[in-house]
Structure 1
């Protein structure tokens, strides 16, 4: 058992490692590799809690470590990505990536200052994760959009630009007003009092996970046909399905009373 108790935290640390690598590649403008490491970190985050439950080694340390790892993988990295997208969309940037070797003068900026607006995603994620740690309501479900889901939403944008560069999609994504609106929407959804079902499995039975399994099948179908452009639709569907499911549950409870 002494070895087993370290398994969930090891998985969480691997999530943190993936997030750290993703941050480095995001700063360099290598969005594909950054997205791969974020997806890997989210995959690991999906299983660390399950491992803790299966091994019966849940701990307060694991809870705090999980949030710290998520802060990097699903909080810092999408903020950097949004910053980079703002740089591409706003005038005053000569290249797609920041030249860190320049700017020796403290007052010299080699990127549009308004691009820093994208870092609100990181601030909103940090606030959401801090609230999550002290909110006893979020044991079997989420209140507000989980940071991994929000990270996937933000990271889908540069992937669409790279792999599906249809002119109308490029025009929308690289519109500063769209990016500003999405940034504010992201911060709102992260901290909104909207109950959302959790995609983490406590068991593999179909009856108790019917909504999760059906939603994952729906996501797979969308990804096959729409590729990266499906991700924003998946996030929107996640919110809608959660609201419908919760409304149905509330009506059932009301009927019983």
Structure 2
């Protein structure tokens, strides 16, 4: 008769295991929320230069936010991997994942761009304060990210490739900006101090997230070169560019990803 009794230890173990993907997803959200704290609490101080006072933002906490976005992206990869491995994928996990992503890869990049715009305006001569109206376009990034994630949850065409640029890619790109400002590879920091460049980046990212262009996914259905050469090329260029370009590798890979997806639109794989 004991053979028919339920194994409560096994049931409890299985119950815990099925929540691992959701715990990872919530860890992603935790990283995003913590990144927001670092960005919003970046201290400001008054500096005097040539007899004029300027408000300067201490960028150090924003660098920590960049690291947290990367960590959130790694966790975002593993929560889906864990769900497939444990065979516990479901609608709850899908919705929870999107809610976490809109914070980590939507709101956080938006606030980073908000800070970058504020800093860029403060570099302009005779500027002592910046109207919120001038900085508000940065908040379009989380709005378009939320729209994209809502569409993604309803779109059944995105099982093998993406329609529009995925939000983690946007998050990684914007998270590289504070590090580029710090290390200034190839003089790129000057471009991120230009308000019109930043406005252009915001407009481009918003468009790419909700566009109808098929974009490459790194989901390999098989390992044939014929079916996957754009993916292999993207991986190789990423690995080569990191030691060569440093933090500039992120915008380089992002640009290659977009251009490659537009020139060689991904097709559904079979077999």
* TM tier relative to shorter chain: 0.7 to 0.9
Q: Secondary structure at the match of 1:90?
A: helix
Runs of at least 5 residues in structure 1 that lack an aligned partner in the other structure: 94-109
Q: Residues of 2 paired with 1:213 and 1:2: CA distance? A: 38
The residue number in structure 2 matching 1:80 is: 111
Q: Secondary structure at the match of 2:89?
A: coil
Taking structure 1 as the reference length, what is the TM-score of the superposition? 0.83
- Aligned partner (choices 207, 218, 221) of residue 237 of structure 2: 218
What aligned pairs does 1:1-257 form with structure 2 within 5 A after superposition? 1-29=14-42, 30-91=61-122, 111-113=130-132, 114-164=134-184, 168-200=187-219, 206-207=223-224, 211-246=230-265, 249=267
| Cα gap change, 1:200 to 1:46, in 2 (>3 Å) | farther
Q: Residues of 1 paired with 2:229 and 2:90: CA distance? A: 28
Alpha-carbon deviations, 1:153-188, whole Å to 9, x = none? 11212210101266x423211111111111011100
Aligned-pair Cα RMSD in Å? 2.6
Please report how far the alpha carbon of residue 65 of structure 1 lies from its aligned counterpart in structure 2 after TM superposition: 0.3
| Cα gap change, 1:26 to 1:209, in 2 (>3 Å) | farther
Does the 8 Å CA contact 1:26/1:80 hold for their aligned counterparts? yes
Deviates more, 1:206-215 or 1:122-131: 206-215
Q: Residues of 1 paired with 2:190 and 2:175: CA distance? A: 17
Q: Which runs of 4+ in 1 moved over 6 A?
A: none
Radius of gyration: which is bigger? Answer: 2
Runs of at least 5 residues in structure 2 that lack an aligned partner in the other structure: 1-13, 43-60
Equivalent pairs counted in the alignment come to 234
Q: Residues of 1 paired with 2:147 and 2:70: CA distance? A: 22
Q: Residues of 1 paired with 2:160 and 2:185: CA distance? A: 39
Q: Residues of 1 paired with 2:83 and 2:122: CA distance? A: 48
Please report how far the alpha carbon of residue 48 of structure 1 lies from its aligned counterpart in structure 2 after TM superposition: 1.1
| Cα gap change, 1:170 to 1:164, in 2 (>3 Å) | closer
Q: Secondary structure at the match of 2:88?
A: coil
Does the 8 Å CA contact 1:15/1:73 hold for their aligned counterparts? yes
Q: Residues of 2 paired with 1:53 and 1:211: CA distance? A: 25
| Cα gap change, 1:172 to 1:246, in 2 (>3 Å) | same
Taking structure 2 as the reference length, what is the TM-score of the superposition? 0.78
Does the 8 Å CA contact 1:90/1:112 hold for their aligned counterparts? no
Q: Residues of 2 paired with 1:112 and 1:222: CA distance? A: 38
